[in-house]
Amino acid sequence: EIVMTQSPATLSVSPGERATLSCRASQSISSNLAWYQQKPGQAPRLLIYGASTRATGIPPRFSGSASGTEFTLTISSLQSEDFALYYCQQYNNWPMYTFGQGTKLEIK
């Protein structure tokens, strides 16, 4: 099983600042990596797929990048609606998806 490890567990950032979330895969997954945002009581929403492609309707302040088995989600200027839980997911071993444990992005 491919294990996805996210860091940090909680990230405290002020509105308007940049947030950087990390995700590491236990083995090579090429660019088969997605990021999701989840708000309390809501379903996850796809933000990024293919490690760096924004999903439909996702604003450009969200960006993804990759370096080997290390993946990063960057939110360039945090808006109030961005404070949420974020999950990474690999689909290299489709459809045996595995998710990271999540990063909670909270207001500093």
Partner 1 sequence: EVQVLESGGDLVQPGGSLRLSCAASGFTFSSYAMSWVRQAPGKGLEWVSTMSGTGGSTYYADSVKGRFTISRDNSENTLYLQVNSLRAEDTAVYYCAKTQVGKGGLDYWGQGTLVTVSS
Stretch that binds partner 1, among 15-23, 58-66, 67-75, 99-107 (CB under 8 A): 99-107
CA distance 72 to 89: 12
Query: Is residue 22 near partner 1 by the rule CB under 8 A?
Result: no
Residue with tokens 């200027």: 77
> Which of left, alpha, beta for 13 (phi over 0: left; psi -120 to 50: alpha)?
beta
Question: Which residue in 55, 58, 66, 104 binds partner 1 (CB under 8 A)?
Answer: 55
Question: Which residue in 42, 65, 74, 77 binds partner 1 (CB under 8 A)?
Answer: 42
Question: Which residue in 24, 58, 63, 97 binds partner 1 (CB under 8 A)?
Answer: 97
C-beta of 98: minimal distance to partner 1 in Å? 7
Cβ-based nearer residue to partner 1, 1 or 16? 1
Which residues form the interface with partner 1 (CB under 8 A)? 32, 34, 36, 42-46, 49-50, 55-56, 87, 89, 91, 94-102
